[in-house]
Structure 1
Amino acid sequence: MSSSLSNLMISLSEGEQEEAWLTEAGLARLFDDSLAEEDSTVFLSTLTRTQAAAVERRVTSLQQTLRRRNRQHVPDVRDIFRPPKETELNVEVAFSEQALTYRDDHQKLTASPNSPDDKLPNFKLLRDKTGQTRIGDLSPQDMKKVRRLVLVEMTALFDTAGIDLKAHKAVKVKTKESGLFGVPLATLLDQDQRRAPGTKVPFILQRLINHIEEEGLDTEGLLRIPGAATRVKTLCQELESSFYDGMFPWQQLKQHDAASLLKLFIRELPHPLLTVEYLNAFLAVNKLPTKKQQLQALNLLVLLLPEANQDTLKALVEFFKRVIDHQEKNKMTLNNVSVVMAPNIFMFKGFRSKITEQQEFSMATSTANIVRLLIRYQNLLWTIPKFIVTQVRQQNMESLKKQNKDRAVRKLLKKITTDKPSDKAVPEEGSQGFIRVQAPQFSKISMAVQLTEELQAADVLTRFLSQDSSVTVKREELCLYEIGGNIKERCLDGETYMKALLQLNPTAEWVIKPVKPLV
């Protein structure tokens, strides 16, 4: 596949790859001081040794390239850096650090990409009292920091295994500006969001999935047996012309035809669902030595995907899991679904037309393991590891310290404190065993909550709803948020222990408000 794929992409020239990587990580100032970008020192100060080594390698490589080109000397950045059970996922220690320990222990165990469904380990996250953080729980400002850290961590993880990730830039593909099939994901969502703001997954994909489920998931060979090619082509044309008008005859659509349309939709995307940028990294997951490291790499790669790709991929793997749940009737096991769907997910419009059926079969075999992991461990992969959230908290605190060194900022903060004396109430109440929970969007604006060792975020929501009968929002649509201190904003997992979190972020405010609606 790699040679065929390379024909459709242009390798970045010497030096360009390092520059592009450093720029994406928000570290462009390390090679160009003239750039008006935020100071990199705070970001660099929170990196682990393996993450720092990944940055250092690319800066060193770029330095050597620039010297060869007789360009200006780039300052050496080395001085900037601060020098469980197998089935349990430790998310408190950087994955790359864990991989380094594994490598140094010279363990000989290797991953088996084609192990049977029932041989995949039952990985589980070690529970943390301060709660899990999932994609969508953090503010856009903190998610920007997450993405930069994840890029460095993902690269460090592959570096530790001796895997060199070659970046590519996609050749421009002619795309449609409207319609359903062969339309860029962002364009599809834009046209759907004009009809229903907040839409996360294209309407056409949602409708096809709903239709298949409404008609029943017991159909034997679902996703594997194709619909008649000529009929599917006709149906595709009918959908293009009548989907948004509501005139498409869904009641006449057969299961295998609907499944073929779903696969066609994914294949016809002008750019791969896993993105051209990270497709090689997804493929390289198979080269990592253990299933745990493969899972950790996929976790990081999912976090790196654009939001639209994350949401659409999640909708797909959740659907695949529901298909597999009916395997006694439809005969579609995890392995069967993965082998069938892998070529659709890893190929895209321009690529598919250039390979033979034999190459497509070979590709299905090599990529099925990755799709199996995406389906099997989907509940883990859309979680932000605690060590990344911890680094975000450290960056926020370091940034605050730097701001406080500026006298003008200190005066402004003092004025704000004077104007808003209630801000002091949170740490004072917390020290007395209470927190004050705000609910500005509801009639009961705030309430004091006594802390105990066992009090969880879900308990706070229960207490609030029991005291304010005027709230018409459903329990599952509400969230208790941690706001301020060392985090911008975080929607709390219901099993978060409030006393433990208060110790981690003593100056935070606690606010109950509706979760942003997911369509």
Structure 2
Amino acid sequence: METYWREVQSIKDEEEEREEEEEETILDEAELEEAWLAEAGLSSLVTGSTTEDGPADALLSTLTRQQVATVTERLENYKQTLRKKNRPTPAHVQDIFTTISPGPPDSTPPRFHRTTKTIHRPRDTTTHTDNTTHTHTDTQTTTLLPTHTQNSHPEKKQPVEADWLVSELPYSEGVSAHKRGVARQHLHGNTDLLVLQLPSSRGVLVRVEDLSPADVTQLGFISLIELSTFLSSLGVQTPKTKTQRHRAPGKDSGVFGVPLSTLLERDRKLYSGETVPAVFRKLLCILEQTGLDTEGILRVPGSAARLKYLRRELDKKFSTGQFDWSTVRPQEASGLMKMFLRDLPSPLLTSMHLPSYTALLGIPSQVHQVQALHLLTLLLPEANRHLLKVLLSFLSKVVSHQEKNRMSLWNVSMVIAPNLFPSRHGNKRSIARPHQELEEAVGAAHLVQLLVAHRELLWTVITADD
């Protein structure tokens, strides 16, 4: 884990030098439930305006009974916390659902309108292939993949088609079947990863970017409700009180510490249709062109003084096109790329949902972990989602060159994890809780492994053929 702790120490040194403070907003239980209902498109339930037909009614009519139970529980919990504060409460839960007829337990809520473009994917689309061994469960034969090592020369084999992973039915409907015979997995540096292939025998696979804005919004509402239902079915609890961390308000100028929306608005004036900040794309371009075969790329840091200088120069000159990119070496591009990620005013994976990423480490089945990551990815704002997709694609390219750069999937994950999942205990290791911090570090790296290895699944939804 030395790679992980070295990256953490580098982040700590950088933050101490800049002396930037983070703002913390602690959400109590009522605020948390209100935020959840709003994000699920059900804010009208909070205001009590449930008698008129509207988006909330349309959404509730598509939910399964389990999902309706989740909404009911969240709303009731919101009401109870308001009572404790002696604040007015909305209408009774039973009144909300009297006119709403939830679908049967096995019904499939519509994920999007049929006016969108659909894409049929070939059968050989894979997320990862490698040397495999077979295990059998009650419901599906899966293939296990040993973690990459620096000296490994894996023999590629055909992956398993993951029909059970991206399903026409909500994940929560299949929990009981998949729970049988699943042993708890202990996370460690040699965690095996499933070899998965996108299903092609059922339905039509659709990429999120091919959906209309209205469909993506609806998909986000359903994904949030399904995520809560799914985690509850698995017996996984997320914290009832959350702390939202924000750096000082984002700048309007420069490229570091600037909100993604501001960067994209600025870049789109020059590059129509840009979905990822131009400076981030340029850094990845340098790494792909000159750094993929560099030993220790991402892991070996550039000079701290040099990175500080380049950061300052980019902030001043990037928007004018006067920055000299030819002077940037691969290790420096790597350092600037990671600096860009951790300097975002709010985390790439969002403050609201970071605790859910941590909570899913308590799920015993890796299949269910990937399913939860799928739902969490669908909840990301558009700019965050596009940036994460580009990042994961690049990381997979780094791993594909591991024979030369000595960066296995596990090594890459340990380097990137501290930049996506900030330590909950600060960047300084505590002598009193070394085991807890080690588990946190390994868990964060495991999540990055899953994101990279199963990246093709994360932006895909499935629907029946028309």
Deviation, structure 1 residue 64: 2.7
2:225 maps to a residue whose letter is V
Change (3 A) 1:37 1:209: farther
Question: Quick check: 1:94–1:153 contact (8 Å CA) kept in 2?
Answer: yes
Distance 1:23 1:216, change over 3 A: closer
Q: 1:99 to 1:257 in 2, by over 3 A?
A: same
Deviation at 1:9, TM superposition (A): 3.5
Q: 1:24 aligns with which of 27, 39, 50?
A: 39
Cα distance per residue 1:395-452 (max 9 Å; x no partner):
xxxxxxxxxxxxxxxxxxxxxxxxxxxxxxxxxxxxxxxxxxxxxxxxxxxxxxxxxx
Q: Tell me what 1:471 maps to.
A: none
Distance 1:49 1:114, change over 3 A: farther
* Structure 1 pair 272–120 and aligned structure 2 pair: CA distance change class (3 A): same
Structure 2 unaligned runs (5+)? 1-7, 9-21, 105-138, 143-161
SS in 2 for 1:46: coil
Q: In structure 2, what is the Cα distance between the partners aligned to 1:366 and 1:129?
A: 33
Establish whether residue 134 from structure 1 lines up as the match of residue 151 from structure 2: no
User: Which amino acid in 2 is paired with 1:33?
Assistant: G
2:409 partner letter: L
Q: SS in structure 1 opposite 2:353?
A: helix
Superimposed CA distance per residue, residues 340-396 of structure 1 (whole angstroms, 9 cap, x where no aligned partner): 110011239xx89x5316688775323001100110010111112x3xx57xxxxxx
CA deviations on 1:97-118 (whole Å, 9 max, x unpaired) are 1123334x4x35113333636x
Say whether 1:200 aligns with 2:255. Answer: no
| 1:64 pairs with 2:80 | yes
Aligned partners of 1:181, 1:361: CA distance in 2, in Å?
30
Which residue in 2 is equivalent to 1:162?
235
- Match among 318, 322, 345 for residue 247 of structure 1: 322
- Aligned partner of 2:31: which letter? E
Give, in whole Å, the separation in 2 of the partners of 1:171 and 1:253: 30
For 1:176, what is the secondary structure of its paired residue?
A: coil
Matches of 2:71 and 2:353, distance apart in 1: 18
Matched AA of 1:217: L
Which of 273, 282, 285 lines up with 1:210 in the alignment? Answer: 285
Q: Contact between 2:413 and 2:448, CA under 8 Å: does it hold in 1?
A: yes
| 1:62 CA drift (Å) | 2.5
Q: 1:231 to 1:65 in 2, by over 3 A?
A: closer
Is residue 184 of structure 1 aligned with residue 259 of structure 2? Answer: yes
- Displacement, 1:288? 1.2
Describe the superposition over 1:113-156 as per-residue Cα deviations: whole angstroms up to 9, x where unpaired. 33636x31112232245420111111111211111100100111
- Provide the C-alpha distance between the structure 1 equivalents of 2:458 and 2:55, rounded to a whole number of angstroms: 31
Tell me if structure 2 keeps the 8 A contact 1:215–1:255.
yes
Counterpart for residue 41 of structure 1: 57
Instruction: Give the secondary-structure state (helix, strand or coil) at the position aligned to 1:11.
Output: strand
8 Å Cα contact 1:30/1:75 also seen in 2: no
Take 2:30 and 2:321, find their aligned partners in 1: how far apart are those partners?
52
| 1:324, distance to aligned residue in structure 2 (A) | 0.6
Q: TM-score, normalised by structure 1?
A: 0.67
Q: Deviations over 1:190-213 (max 9, x none)?
A: 111121121111111111111112
Aligned to 1:509: none
Which structure's relative contact order is higher, taking Cα pairs within 8 Å and 6+ residues apart?
2
Partner of 1:383: 460
* Residues paired across the two proteins, number: 379
1:74 shift after superposition: 2.3
Aligned to 1:54: 70
Q: How many angstroms apart in 1 are the aligned matches of 2:204 and 2:222?
A: 20
* Higher gyration radius (CA): 1
Superposed CA deviations along residues 263-299 of structure 1, whole A, max 9, x for unmatched, are 1111111111101111111121211120000000000
Q: Give the distance between the partners of 2:268 and 2:190, measured in 1 at CA.
A: 41
Q: Secondary structure at the match of 1:297?
A: helix
Residue 180 and residue 72 in structure 1: after superposition, are their counterparts in 2 closer, same or farther (change >3 A)?
A: closer
Q: Is the 8 A contact 1:135 1:382 kept in 2?
A: yes
Contact 1:299 1:380 survives alignment (8 Å): yes
Question: Residue 33 of structure 1: CA displacement?
Answer: 2.9
Which of 223, 226, 234 matches 2:301? 226
Q: How do residues 392-407 of structure 1 correspond to structure 2 at under 5 angstroms? A: none
Q: What is the distance in 1 between the residues matched to 2:358 and 2:230?
A: 15
Which position in structure 2 is the counterpart of 1:366? 443
Inter-partner Cα distance in structure 2 for 1:249 and 1:76 = 61
* Change in 2 beyond 3 A, CA 1:101/1:54: farther
Q: Deviations over 1:140-182 (max 9, x none)?
A: 1121111110010011111112222234444573221111111
Aligned equivalents of 1:271 and 1:136: distance in 2?
23
- Measured on the aligned residues, the alpha-carbon RMSD in Å equals 2.7
Stretches of structure 1 that go unaligned for 5 or more consecutive residues are 2-6, 391-500, 505-519
CA 1:357–1:205 in structure 2 vs 1: closer, same or farther (change >3 Å)?
farther
Report the residue type matching 1:121 in the other structure.
Answer: L
Residue 177 of structure 2 is matched in structure 1 by 101
The 8 Å contact of residues 273 and 346 in structure 1, kept in 2 or not, is answered as: no
User: 1:356 is matched with which residue?
Assistant: 428
**Identity across aligned pairs (percent)?**
37
Q: Is the 8 A contact 2:237 2:359 kept in 1?
A: no
Letter of the 1:303 partner, please give it: L
Give distance in 1, aligned partners of 2:90 and 2:275: 46
User: What one-letter code is carried by the residue in structure 2 that aligns with 1:356?
Assistant: K
Match of 1:152 among 221, 225, 228: 225
Deviation (angstroms), 1:257: 1.4
Conservation of the 8 A alpha-carbon contact between 1:63 and 1:74: no
